[in-house]
Amino acid sequence: MLILRNATVVDAEGVTDGDVTVEDGTVVDVGDATADAPELDVDGSFVVPGLVDAHVHLMMDGRADSASLASETEPALAYQAARNLADLLDAGVTTVRDLGAPGTLALDAGRAVERGVLDGPRVLAAGENVVMTGGHGHWFGREADGRAEIRTAVREQLKKGADVVKCMATGGVLTEGAHIGGTELDEEELRTLVATAAAKGRPTAAHAHAAAGIKNATRAGISSVEHGTYMDREAAQLMAERGTYWVPTASALAGIVEHGVDAGIPEWAVEKAEAAEREFASSFEYALDEGVPIAMGTDAGTPFNFHGDVPRELALMVEYGLSPEAALEAATVNAADLLGLDDVGLVRPGYAADLVVLPADPREDAAAWGRAEHVVKGGELVR
């Protein structure tokens, strides 16, 4: 049991003053605590929900040339994942969705956290991405072509215990030769992927930069579109109508564009990122105009986009037009909803005791996210 005394609670439902009482990993009361339990006085600080990062790659380390990870052994990548889990938790991220790693690496990381072998946020993982032969991220994905192979590839991930099925609907920035303006898996392949995942009750996610790929994925019933940098108004309208989440991952482009070839990022990757970033503001404009649901995800692990740097993603979302309140929702209740978690994302009785203590109200000072004073995960004070 733990009591956060004299708290100012800030979440998507508003502001509440009182003591936050935690028992058996759950918030049991927000009010006047009378129980005899260990206390943490947070007077003058703000208690917010733990952050939910809906798009990470635990095995990636933010190096300039992501393709060089292909030469690393899986045990080496697992050690990196353990370090990244610790960094995420220290930054106040209490839940993540890993959207692609070799073999069962990310799935195993999640199980290790659940068993208490590793400290870190809870992990929902996709296993291996389903990609076309030679497609984006093929070096750590499961290559498949045509409906029959797609069905088999998805079933393989489900057999391993995947919480979500991830695929590549278009090319990407960090695969040489992949065209981000073109489609990879086609709409029929995507429909097969969605139907196969749905048979086991699993949601889906599609990497999609180009508008055509976004529309294919949305019509196919994909749960979330990742990146969406070339979204047009028609795509935004379709996503809003279908309730398809958008996970913008603004930090991924920013890390590449801000550092460039001088930092060792391949020239072809920089060129693609710069072109995509020029269109990104329009994607936000269309999404906000049409009411597309947005969940926060960083794509952590891509060049100069390190795990735990979530405050930058929130700041970028606000720069692109979200209100601070909307950014808070995207990083808590919206992301939790996308991940299918109905007891995560608020500081209310019955919700998981995943809490962050900040020195300022994040709706007024977005930089407060980078100055976490304490972190509580599952009722345990971890920082």
**184-242 confidence digits (pLDDT tens):** 999 999 999 999 999 999 999 999 999 999 999 999 999 999 999 999 999 999 999 99
Residue 129 β-bridge partners:
141
Is a pLDDT exceeding 90 seen at residue 315?
A: yes
Note the pLDDT of residue 361. 94
Instruction: Extract the runs of DSSP E, i.e. beta strands, from the chain.
Output: 2-11, 14-23, 26-31, 39-41, 46-49, 51-56, 93-98, 122-125, 129-131, 141-143, 165-168, 204-208, 224-227, 245-247, 355-358, 374-377, 380-381
Ordered by where they begin, the domains of the chain are 2-49+345-381 (2.30.40.10), 51-338 (3.20.20.140)
Distance CA 75, CA 60 (A): 13
Mean pLDDT of 108-114: 97
Position 373 scores a pLDDT of: 96
Q: What are phi and psi of 123, to 5 degrees?
A: -120, 125
- Strand 129-131 to 141-143 pairing: parallel
Average pLDDT over residues 351-371: 93
Confidence grade of residue 32 (pLDDT, cut at 50, 70, 90): very high
Nearest CA-CA partner of 236 in 296, 317, 292: 292
Neighbours of 171 (CB within 10 A): 24
Helix axes 233-242, 211-220, angle to 10 degrees: 20
Considering the chain, what percentage of its residues have pLDDT values greater than 90? 96
pTM above 0.95, yes or no: yes
In this structure, what DSSP letter does residue 247 have?
Answer: E
Give the C-alpha separation, 68 to 140, whole Å: 12
Identify the band that residue 54 occupies on the pLDDT scale cut at 50, 70 and 90: very high
**In the 8-state DSSP scheme, what is residue 94?**
E
Residue 365 has pLDDT above 90, yes or no: no
Q: What is the mean pLDDT of residues 303-313?
A: 95
Q: What integer pLDDT is reported at residue 383 of this predicted model?
A: 87
Residue 315: DSSP 8-state: H
CA dihedral for 163, 318, 180, 265, sign (positive or negative): negative
Mean pLDDT (the chain) is: 96
Residue 383 DSSP label = -
Percentage, residues of the chain above pLDDT 70 = 100
| Numbers of helices and strands, H then E, in the chain | 11, 17
Mean pLDDT in residue range 77-92: 97
CA angle 262, 267, 270 (to 5 degrees): 85
Which residues are paired to 245 by β-bridges?
224
Beta strand 355-358 pairing with 46-49: antiparallel
Q: How many angstroms from the chain centroid is the CA of residue 39?
A: 32
Which pLDDT band, with edges at 50, 70 and 90, does 292 fall under?
A: very high
| Residue 202 confidence (pLDDT) | 98
- Please state which of the ranges 167-171, 179-183, 242-246, 346-350 shows the lowest mean pLDDT: 179-183
In the predicted model, is pLDDT for residue 181 greater than 90?
A: no
**Tokens of residue 10, six digits:** 């800030």
Mean of the pLDDT values across residues 86-90?
A: 97
- pLDDT number for residue 237: 98
How does pLDDT run across 115-160, given as a tens digit for each residue? Answer: 999 999 999 999 999 999 999 999 999 999 999 999 999 999 999 9
Q: How far apart are CA 62 and CA 44, in angstroms?
A: 35
Amino acid at 116: G
What token pair was written down for 145? 């072509």
Confidence of residue 86 (pLDDT cuts 50, 70, 90): very high
